[in-house]
Structure 1
Amino acid sequence: MANLLPVSLLLALLFYSQLHPLYAFVKLVAVGTRIEFRSKVKHINASHQFYRGDSLTEQSLDMKLDIASPLREMKQLYFSYYPILGNSTARTALVKRTVDLCFYIQHPNSDRLLRIVYDYVRERSNLPERCPVEPGSYYIRNAKPSDVPVPAFIPESEFMLELIYRNEVRREIMLEFRFYGKLVRVLGAF
């Protein structure tokens, strides 16, 4: 009977070590490869810095907007998500939204999908909370692509996330943001 105790403990330890990986979580995370962020008008200066860490989950992004005059007409936001499958250059948007930016800032619950990204960005920025957007410096700091929640219906693939801000009156593009990357599955306890 005394000899069974060490054997039982050894078997229990072996059994636990084989099952332990089953308790880990798999998370789909975004890994950036390239960013485009530019202003198309003179009174807005847009800049960014993309930091690539040692691991896939250590990437971060800082963005800055210097606005010289009030933005009364920047009202339309076009939000698009394009999966890029294989070597395909043809892009069909999986998600496409057009929102009135001023309305959305005051009513973020009006679009649940956009709210996922909006809440994450709000925590890391001093972006305006009402319209018109006053002149000043606005920033987003330490935004980590791997921390942004990814909806379950988004496939594991390369992608492009595009945000285009337009002038409501003249329909001209004021700001463009494109984030190119890939979604990868990461195993770990999150």
Structure 2
Amino acid sequence: MWQTDRACGTRPQDHIQIQIQIRALRFGQTLRSKFTNISVECSHEFCSSIRGWLTEKGELNLDIQLNGTLRNGLRTTITLLQLIDGQNRFQTLFSYDMDTCKTLRELLQSSLMKVWLRNVFKYGNLANRCPIKPAYYDVRNFQLENHSIPGYLPSGFYRLHDTNYYGKPKGRHRRPVATFILDIKFY
């Protein structure tokens, strides 16, 4: 705890307010999550099949039969949107576009993405480096761990949009690989 010096002109109520604000930041609310919907697509150039479904508990399952090798140059855009009015209107909270292979190589050194990726790898046999060879990949009963949900997000409904492609981030001629759209409830 900090002590205030009355001679500096602070009032006791200021001291109490500062303590409350610091405690709120330090011991923020821990949210839980539940997936509420999933949509998956994969280009026939790279996949012969892809399937996503949710368990009754809102856990995610994926089956992916990758037939083409994914090499350097693969890019991923991850966008998190928040439902703002309950009527299918979403506001973008953040969007990251990254070199997928470089990101996997660096394993996202201390970032929120690193926490998310490690969480995903625990639930399946997804490749964690490039080139990603043709094989059967799966995820079973995946759920976001409480510590992987940013404390600054309020409870509510969100959409995570993950697009994988070859091409330039702002280019018009993208070669699609796969798209995953997940609706999530934080509570």
Aligned partners of 1:38 and 1:177 also within 8 Å:
yes
Number of paired residues?
Answer: 155
1:128 match: secondary structure: coil
What TM-score does the superposition give when structure 1 sets the normalisation length? 0.72
Matches for 1:78-117 after TM superposition, within 5 Å = 78-110=77-109, 112-117=111-116
Q: Partner letter of residue 95 of structure 2?
A: K
Distance 1:72 1:109 in 2: 18
Larger Rg: 1
1:39 equivalent among 42, 48, 51? 42
Distance 1:74 1:36 in 2: 24
Aligned partners of 2:38 and 2:183 also within 8 Å:
yes
Q: CA RMSD for the aligned pairs?
A: 2.2
2:175 equivalent among 172, 175, 184? 172
1:162 match: secondary structure: strand
Aligned partners of 1:120 and 1:148 also within 8 Å:
no
What TM-score does the superposition give when structure 2 sets the normalisation length? 0.73
Q: Partner letter of residue 38 of structure 2?
A: I
Aligned partners of 2:46 and 2:177 also within 8 Å:
no
Distance 2:32 2:149 in 1: 7
Aligned partners of 2:40 and 2:178 also within 8 Å:
yes
Choose between structure 1 and 2 for higher RCO, CA contacts under 8 A separated by at least 6 residues.
1
1:70-112: CA deviation from partner (whole Å, max 9, x where unpaired): 1226611101110112235443311211111000111013460
C-alpha deviation, 1:149, in angstroms: 2.1
Distance 2:50 2:109 in 1: 27
Aligned partners of 1:164 and 1:176 also within 8 Å:
yes
2:33 equivalent among 23, 30, 33? 30
Give yes or no for the alignment of 1:49 onto 2:53: yes
Aligned partners of 2:52 and 2:62 also within 8 Å:
yes
